[in-house]
């Protein structure tokens, strides 16, 4: 998104005010096409909605040909409203309520991931009540994870899935039930993996586990879900994820595993979130005041970790510029602090910026994934930012109006 022109950014701020999220769908398209170009044709891409569930973003990704990966009834509702058919949706997540499961079954989604024995029996019971046979995948927490992943969801002790060493019990139980059919397995070991080699090692492990279980239980593997996790560079020192090498690595792995199990009839799933949408998004926020405290300079802005938790979560010198001073020389180091009453609320540790003053517009890059969606949106009851997309023709379209003060009374008697 660094290519967005300074004048365009300032025009958007003049039109929509701050704080403002802007998503360029052309970048999402480039990322999607990059994946389609290099990964083997047999793979299907299911977009992980949690990265950015704005319905217009989701509808666009659907128009590119992706399915949806969801993890709640809310996300299922958004996916359906954005145009995904039930048959194009898979449901993961360790905490599904009976209502979530019933809603998913009612909408005839493609696959439900099972993450525990309790859940398996609940799905079977609810499927029976609906008189609808449900296809399931077992989510496995493998013995071997990906230590390099920024956020771990596999390999050690986890709330996700069933430990590899205990999966036999769950498979044996699933095979005896009447209202679920076991379609395959799912393993997702973590997010923000920048090295394609690390991800390939984890995927090879997944394929080996799938193959071993298929042999052991005479399973026909209809599906192997290899998760998401493809990373994006957040700082200048980090490298882009190498999609080309990743794609050829995947082809080699499929060929290698075919000695043990022929995968030509198996649906192979990737469920990227961050990789598709991160770089497409920026957050624009206005400087309210500038001050010094004991040798450090602070710029306080009209946004914060309530609108963008990610920069804080990544704990880095987050890529940031003053949008109205892009060509000006560096003046000093500044900490960009949000408006919340917590010392956690800083976007960046000290970053070098041109001379900074009130009304300057700070642009936070790489905000398209886990920006709006993974933030503390209710903290301090500050109205939610507006969201705008830049469409194929370069036109800006408001796709979520700015929140109102009154929104925070929603659901109360006031
Ligand atoms: C099950 C599952 N799949 C896919 C994703 C998307 O991961 P990423 O955005 O790192 O690609 C997540 C993220 O938490 C997830 O939990």
- pLDDT for the residue numbered 290: 98
Q: Which pLDDT tens digit goes with each residue over 300-311?
A: 999 999 998 887
The finding on whether 274 has its CB within 6 A of some atom of ligand 1 is yes
Q: Which of 154, 187, 188, 223 to mutate to test the pocket of ligand 1 (most atoms within 8 A of CB)?
A: 188
Q: Report CA(69)–ligand 1 centroid distance (Å).
A: 9
Prior bond of 19 cis (ω within 30°): yes
Q: Which atom of ligand 1 sits closest to the CA of residue 275?
A: 11
CA 361 from centre of chain: 27
The finding on whether 228 has its CB within 6 A of some atom of ligand 1 is yes
Closest by Cα among 42, 80, 82, 91 to 64: 82
- pLDDT for the residue numbered 132: 97
pLDDT category at 313 given cuts 50, 70, 90 is confident
d(CA 207, CA 40): 15
Is 146's pLDDT higher than 70?
A: no
Q: Which pLDDT tens digit goes with each residue over 31-82?
A: 999 999 999 999 999 999 999 999 999 999 999 999 999 999 999 999 999 9
Is 198's pLDDT higher than 90?
A: yes
- pLDDT for the residue numbered 11: 96
| Four-way CATH pick for 39-274: 3.20.20.10, 3.40.50.11440, 3.30.70.330, 2.30.110.10 | 3.20.20.10
Please, what is the average pLDDT of the chain?
A: 94
Are the CB atoms for 240 and 233 separated by under 8 Å? yes
pLDDT category at 316 given cuts 50, 70, 90 is low
Topology given in CATH for the domain delimited by 281-409: Lyase, Ornithine Decarboxylase; Chain A, domain 1 (2.40.37)
pLDDT category at 383 given cuts 50, 70, 90 is very high
Query: Nearest 5°: phi and psi at 275?
Result: -60, -40
Instruction: Say which residue, 53 or 6, is predicted with more confidence.
Output: 53
Q: Report CA(139)–ligand 1 centroid distance (Å).
A: 13
pLDDT category at 151 given cuts 50, 70, 90 is low
Q: Report CA(48)–ligand 1 centroid distance (Å).
A: 6
The finding on whether 137 has its CB within 6 A of some atom of ligand 1 is no
Instruction: Say which residue, 290 or 144, is predicted with more confidence.
Output: 290
Q: What is the 3-state secondary structure (H, E, C) of 60-104?
A: HHHHHCCEEEECCHHHHHHHHHCCCCHHHEEECCCCCCHHHHHHH
Q: Report CA(70)–ligand 1 centroid distance (Å).
A: 9
The finding on whether 227 has its CB within 6 A of some atom of ligand 1 is yes
The finding on whether 243 has its CB within 6 A of some atom of ligand 1 is no
Residue with tokens 């989701």: 58
The finding on whether 371 has its CB within 6 A of some atom of ligand 1 is no
Atom 1 in ligand 1: residue holding the nearest Cα: 92
**Residues designated catalytic:** 341
Sign of the dihedral through C-alpha 395, 361, 308, 193 = positive
CA contacts within 13 A on the Cβ side of 219:
27
The finding on whether 75 has its CB within 6 A of some atom of ligand 1 is no
Is 317's pLDDT higher than 80?
A: no
Give the other-Cβ count within 10 Å of 354's Cβ: 18
- pLDDT for the residue numbered 6: 84
- pLDDT for the residue numbered 311: 78
Is 154's pLDDT higher than 80?
A: no
Q: Report CA(220)–ligand 1 centroid distance (Å).
A: 26
Q: What is the 3-state secondary structure (H, E, C) of the chain?
A: CCCCCHHHHHHHHHHHCCCEEEEEHHHHHHHHHHHHHHCCCCEEEEEEHHHCCCHHHHHHHHHHCCEEEECCHHHHHHHHHCCCCHHHEEECCCCCCHHHHHHHHHCCCCEEEECCHHHHHHHHHHHHHHCCCEEEEEEEECCCCCCCCCEECCCCCCCCCEEHHHHHHHHHHHHHCCCEEEEEEECCCEECECCHHHHHHHHHHHHHHHHHHHHHHCCCCCEEECCCCECCCCCCCCCCCCHHHHHHHHHHHHHHHCCCCCHHHCEEEECCCHHHHCCCEEEEEEEEEEEEECCEEEEEECCCCCCCCHHHHHCCCCCEEEHHHCCCCCCEEEEEECCCCCCCCECCCCEEECCCCCCCEEEECCCCCCCCCCCCCCHHHCCCCEEEEECCCCCEEEEECCCCHHHHHCCCCC
In angstroms, the Cα distances linking 255 to 45, 144, 250, 308 are: 20, 22, 9, 42
The finding on whether 92 has its CB within 6 A of some atom of ligand 1 is yes
Share of the chain above pLDDT 90, in %: 86
pLDDT category at 147 given cuts 50, 70, 90 is low
Q: Report CA(136)–ligand 1 centroid distance (Å).
A: 18
pLDDT category at 144 given cuts 50, 70, 90 is confident
pLDDT category at 350 given cuts 50, 70, 90 is confident
- pLDDT for the residue numbered 145: 66
In angstroms, the Cα distances linking 254 to 218, 231, 245, 396 are: 19, 22, 14, 42
- pLDDT for the residue numbered 237: 85
Is 150's pLDDT higher than 90?
A: no
The finding on whether 230 has its CB within 6 A of some atom of ligand 1 is yes
Q: Which of 94, 194, 228, 309 to mutate to test the pocket of ligand 1 (most atoms within 8 A of CB)?
A: 228
Residues of each domain in the chain carrying CATH 3.20.20.10: 39-274
Share of the chain above pLDDT 70, in %: 97
Is 241's pLDDT higher than 90?
A: yes
Q: Which pLDDT tens digit goes with each residue over 250-293?
A: 999 999 999 889 999 999 999 999 999 999 999 999 999 999 99
């Amino acid at each position: 998104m660094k290519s967005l022109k300074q004048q365009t950014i300032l025009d958007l701020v003049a039109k929509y005010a701050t704080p403002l999220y802007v998503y360029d769908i052309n970048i999402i398209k480039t990322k999607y096409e990059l994946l389609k170009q290099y990964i083997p044709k047999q793979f299907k891409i299911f977009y992980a909605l949690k990265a950015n569930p704005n319905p217009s973003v989701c509808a666009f990704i659907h128009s590119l040909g992706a399915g949806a990966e969801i993890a709640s009834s809310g996300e299922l509702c958004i996916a359906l409203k954005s145009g995904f058919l039930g048959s194009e949706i898979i449901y993961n997540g360790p905490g599904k309520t009976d209502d979530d499961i019933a809603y998913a079954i009612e909408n005839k989604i493609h696959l439900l991931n099972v993450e525990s024995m309790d859940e398996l029996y609940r799905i079977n019971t609810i499927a029976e009540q609906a008189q609808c046979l449900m296809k399931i995948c077992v989510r496995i927490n493998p013995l071997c994870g990906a230590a390099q992943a920024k956020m771990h969801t596999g390999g050690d002790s986890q709330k996700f899935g069933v430990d590899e060493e205990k999966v036999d019990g769950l498979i044996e139980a699933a095979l005896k039930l009447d209202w679920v059919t076991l379609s395959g397995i799912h393993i997702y070991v973590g997010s923000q993996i920048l090295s394609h080699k690390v991800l390939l090692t984890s995927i090879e492990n997944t394929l080996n586990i799938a193959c071993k279980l298929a042999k052991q239980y005479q399973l026909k593997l209809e599906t192997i879900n290899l998760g998401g996790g493809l990373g994006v560079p957040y700082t200048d020192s980090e490298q882009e994820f190498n999609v080309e090498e990743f794609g050829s690595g995947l082809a080699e792995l499929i060929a290698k595993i075919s000695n043990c199990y022929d995968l030509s009839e198996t649906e192979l799933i990737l469920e990227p979130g961050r990789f598709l949408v991160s770089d497409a998004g920026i957050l624009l926020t206005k400087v309210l005041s500038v001050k010094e405290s004991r040798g450090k300079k602070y710029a306080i802005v009209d946004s914060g970790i309530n609108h963008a938790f990610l920069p804080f979560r990544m704990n880095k010198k987050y890529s940031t510029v003053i949008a109205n001073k892009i060509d000006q020389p560096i003046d000093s180091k500044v900490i960009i602090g949000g408006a919340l009453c917590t010392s956690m609320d800083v976007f960046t540790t000290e970053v070098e910026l041109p001379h900074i003053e009130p009304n300057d517009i700070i642009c936070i890059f790489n905000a398209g994934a886990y920006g709006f969606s993974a933030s503390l949106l209710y903290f301090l009851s500050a109205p939610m930012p507006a969201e705008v997309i830049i469409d194929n023709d370069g036109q800006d379209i408001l796709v979520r109006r700015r929140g109102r003060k009154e929104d925070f009374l929603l659901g109360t008697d006031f």
